[in-house]
Structure 1
Amino acid sequence: MIARVKGVAALAAALVLGACADQGARQLRTVADVTIVHTVNPSTVPGLTTVTRAEQNDRRHVYASYPEVPGARPLSRALASAVNGRVKPFERDAGRVRRLPGGDVPELNVQWSLTAAAQEVVGVRLVTSQFMGASGGETRETLWYDGVAGMVHPAADLLDGRRGLDGMVRQVRSRIGNEANPGQVTPDPRMFSSIAFNEAGDMVVEFSDYSVAPGSAGRVAVAVPGSAYEPLLSSFGMRARDAALDTQPGLSLGSPTATPAPRGDAARRPLPRTDCVRAKCVALTFDDGPGPHTGRLLDLLADGRARATFFVVGDNAAARTDLLRRAAAAGHEIGNHTQDHRDLSRLPAMQVTSDIQRTEEVVRDVTGRSPKLLRPPYGATNATVGAVAKSLGLAQVMWNVAVADWRQSDARVIADRVVSASRPGSIVVLHDNHKVTVDAVPRIIQRLQAKGYTLATASDLLAARHPQPGGAYRNG
């Protein structure tokens, strides 16, 4: 069966379930789509952290994220290599583009999800979306880790060598839809770069754009029932299938890295709100987390008695619900930075809605409150994004102080630039997934407070302007 959506009614039916279950699809699907890949909640894997690469300038936009699973270092190295293999060629190609029509900027986005995390097997699915004007598309790849052997397997290794590949080619050709060319499905292991399983236990084989069909076909995926694929599995493929379908996920890969406990009772005594009409305020905002350095950042903010706003990416927030909960309990504001960090200004309204709502659900489920603020990735907004934000009751918050902290290796430089550029009512954008940025925070707090500033949340800073849903705000 090939993934398809026809008509407005089908698209509306697909919005919540299709988008939530499959992060990589550009086309939203009907609720009966059997090619939706089963995923594991990353918060069930103790010690899991995320690694994020992000960059934005007038030549390119890059956001790439992948998980680090305790006890699976070879998998982390393989994921880093896979992501680098997408980012480097994109940076090269984007550097050759002078300007895209309409002033658009080339964009690369790498998303991840867990397809298995049980016994001694981990599956990680990467979906890479690339926009380069007229060209672009999605590449799909699933890596499988065998904790017994300490080996990372490409998806084709789930099949029993050439015999398994030949058999799977026959199965796929007999099931693939009219949009694709069955003759283009060959027993090349590279063609079978993404293999996982659905909730019913069927094998889901999905293809990268343009590999077996025109780009207009969207995501091409086939579900193969167990009776057809089980004879084709390798011994590791059987273990991967069992792990993916395990109803009680639990890894046996060694002890997870201990998460440092909050110091003192800072996480239990939220700082009071600030009246920024009377006080001289600056809002420190942190995008793209939570990440490996967010816990230390929360300690530093508590030490400096400073409040901040965290615009979280839904995938990262779902992986680190402990940090999300702790930030909210300490009195920091949680804003919405979308689920996958895609440029919303290029997406249709229903996909914009889905991307925002999925993060809203994560934040609400963990903290008990829905975000009131939205920061569109890259600050890219338009009338469609504004209309969706209005419908969801979200004000858009941009910034007027940016220091490109992802390019810096010196915390003093970051602090100098933030302090020198800040004025009463400034909104500063930083990124808590960079160690050097977190290193700069004590200097930023101390120096701004020495100048009489109070470090407030974005909502407190904007309160006097009575921000309206859908509106875009850059300072107080």
Structure 2
Amino acid sequence: MDDKLNRMKQEYESIPIPEELNEMVNRTIASRRTKIKAMPWLVSAAAACILLSVGVNASPAFAKALSEVPVLGQIVKVITIREYAEENENTDVHLKTPGIAGTGNPELEQSLNTKYLEENKKLYESFKNDVAQLEKSGGGHLGLESGYEVVNDTDQLLTLSRYVVESAGSSAESRKYDTIDKVNHIVLTLPSLFSDDRYIQVISDNIKEQMRQQMKNDSSKIYWVDQPGSKTDMPKEELFRSIAKDQNFYINQDGKLVISFNEYDVAPGSMGVVEFTIPTEAIQYLLVSNEYVQ
């Protein structure tokens, strides 16, 4: 079993780097050499991050995908910078790591791409541990899939969603989002959209009302939310109370704020990942501006 896990790790971490990406790294290093000379203590860290961010699968499939990379907003590109897959009797794993290029801000790209690689590295290490524990307990089947998709792309904003599906008999899906202002070269956060923390309660109350209305209109929909005037078998501490300060979100093509919850966060697994579009009029007085949310 240890040999199998070691082999999986070696295969994942030894994916070769395409020549095209080596050239890109060299250009990046050359363009930043002056800054690095001014700060010698950054050399090792910068080099390590650059090497980490270009661990790319150089398979024919990747070469084809690279040649067909769509140009987003005519500037920003989203590519797969690492991909690993293995399937056998006990495991089924497929990891795709996205990378951002062409934003005009190399530091932003490096930060995002390093984060994406680290996310999948942690997923993979956790998966290996789960496989080892499963073997000790008598065997079974485990699956892990990660990938990404562009959920919004406008002249100003690009939203990249990274999803993870873990399976062991049943499955659970989770998602993370990054919304990038392509003009100002920044990643938006939920708090940055509002003047103060009152948005947390206002959005939470709106979501609760949407949950109740959806359940009233459709008996197949179930949310873990309190229903005034009715009893529930769920402990109160397990009912949805409030979004997190940094709750998953994105801004859709209509300029509306969308709040997202992972599978099992606020509803049974049958509901999957659930999202709520927040009416702008409900939060207008708390918005810093209408540059993003309209």
Alpha-carbon distance, 1:219 to partner: 2.1
- Residue 173 of structure 1 is matched in structure 2 by 208
Q: Which of the numbers 131, 143, 146 marks the counterpart of 2:166?
A: 131
**Matching of residues 138-149 of structure 1 within 5 Å:** 138-146=173-181
Q: Which of the numbers 256, 261, 267 marks the counterpart of 1:207?
A: 261
One-letter amino acid of the structure 1 residue matched with residue 152 of structure 2:
T
One-letter amino acid of the structure 2 residue matched with residue 90 of structure 1:
L
1:197 partnered with 2:252: yes
Residues 198 and 204, structure 1, Cα contact 8 Å, conserved in 2: no
Kindly provide the CA deviation profile for residues 421-468 of structure 1, in whole angstroms up to 9, marking residues without a partner as x.
xxxxxxxxxxxxxxxxxxxxxxxxxxxxxxxxxxxxxxxxxxxxxxxx
Alpha-carbon distance, 1:185 to partner: 4.1
| Cα pair distance change 1:111/1:44, threshold 3 Å | same
- Residue 216 of structure 1 is matched in structure 2 by 270
| Cα pair distance change 1:225/1:132, threshold 3 Å | same
Higher strand share: 2
Alpha-carbon distance, 1:162 to partner: 0.5
Residues 107 and 130, structure 1, Cα contact 8 Å, conserved in 2: yes
| Cα pair distance change 1:149/1:49, threshold 3 Å | closer
Hey, what's the Cα distance between the residues in 1 that align with 2:262 and 2:147? 14
One-letter amino acid of the structure 1 residue matched with residue 77 of structure 2:
L
Hey, what's the Cα distance between the residues in 2 that align with 1:51 and 1:61? 13
**Matching of residues 57-96 of structure 1 within 5 Å:** 57-58=86-87, 59=91, 60-96=93-129
Hey, what's the Cα distance between the residues in 2 that align with 1:141 and 1:84? 14
Q: Normalised by the size of structure 1, how large is the TM-score?
A: 0.36
Hey, what's the Cα distance between the residues in 1 that align with 2:277 and 2:78? 31
| Cα pair distance change 1:157/1:134, threshold 3 Å | farther
| Cα pair distance change 1:103/1:67, threshold 3 Å | farther
Residues 144 and 155, structure 1, Cα contact 8 Å, conserved in 2: no
Kindly provide the CA deviation profile for residues 171-194 of structure 1, in whole angstroms up to 9, marking residues without a partner as x.
11111244222342414223x212
Structure of greater relative contact order (alpha carbons < 8 Å, 6+ residues apart):
1
Unaligned runs of 5+ in 1: 1-40, 243-476
Hey, what's the Cα distance between the residues in 2 that align with 1:225 and 1:49? 30
Hey, what's the Cα distance between the residues in 1 that align with 2:208 and 2:249? 16
- Residue 188 of structure 1 is matched in structure 2 by 244
Q: Which of the numbers 128, 132, 145 marks the counterpart of 1:108?
A: 145
Q: Report SS of the residue matched to 1:129.
A: strand
Kindly provide the CA deviation profile for residues 86-107 of structure 1, in whole angstroms up to 9, marking residues without a partner as x.
3123212221215699975522
Kindly name which structure, 1 or 2, has the bigger radius of gyration based on alpha carbons.
1
Q: Report SS of the residue matched to 2:198.
A: helix
One-letter amino acid of the structure 2 residue matched with residue 205 of structure 1:
I
One-letter amino acid of the structure 2 residue matched with residue 110 of structure 1:
G
1:117 partnered with 2:150: no
| Cα pair distance change 1:117/1:159, threshold 3 Å | same
Hey, what's the Cα distance between the residues in 1 that align with 2:149 and 2:278? 23
Residues 90 and 108, structure 1, Cα contact 8 Å, conserved in 2: no
One-letter amino acid of the structure 1 residue matched with residue 203 of structure 2:
M
Residues 97 and 117, structure 2, Cα contact 8 Å, conserved in 1: no
Residues 142 and 194, structure 1, Cα contact 8 Å, conserved in 2: yes
Q: Which of the numbers 192, 197, 220 marks the counterpart of 1:162?
A: 197
Alpha-carbon distance, 1:166 to partner: 2.0
Residues 74 and 150, structure 1, Cα contact 8 Å, conserved in 2: no
Residues 96 and 146, structure 2, Cα contact 8 Å, conserved in 1: yes
1:229 partnered with 2:283: yes
Q: Report SS of the residue matched to 1:124.
A: strand
| Cα pair distance change 1:216/1:157, threshold 3 Å | farther
Hey, what's the Cα distance between the residues in 1 that align with 2:158 and 2:241? 23
Equivalent residue pairs, number:
196
**Matching of residues 30-429 of structure 1 within 5 Å:** 42-46=71-75, 48-58=77-87, 59=91, 60-96=93-129, 97-98=131-132, 104=141, 106-118=143-155, 121-134=156-169, 136-146=171-181, 150-176=185-211, 177-178=214-215, 179-182=222-225, 183-190=239-246, 192-199=247-254, 201-235=255-289, 238-241=290-293
Residues 151 and 161, structure 2, Cα contact 8 Å, conserved in 1: no
Alpha-carbon distance, 1:111 to partner: 0.9
Alpha-carbon distance, 1:56 to partner: 1.8
Alpha-carbon distance, 1:115 to partner: 1.9
| Cα pair distance change 1:92/1:219, threshold 3 Å | same
Alpha-carbon distance, 1:42 to partner: 4.7
Hey, what's the Cα distance between the residues in 2 that align with 1:80 and 1:57? 23
Unaligned runs of 5+ in 2: 1-69, 216-221, 226-238
Q: Report SS of the residue matched to 2:267.
A: coil
One-letter amino acid of the structure 2 residue matched with residue 181 of structure 1:
W
Alpha-carbon distance, 1:145 to partner: 3.0
| Cα pair distance change 1:169/1:208, threshold 3 Å | same
Q: Normalised by the size of structure 2, how large is the TM-score?
A: 0.55
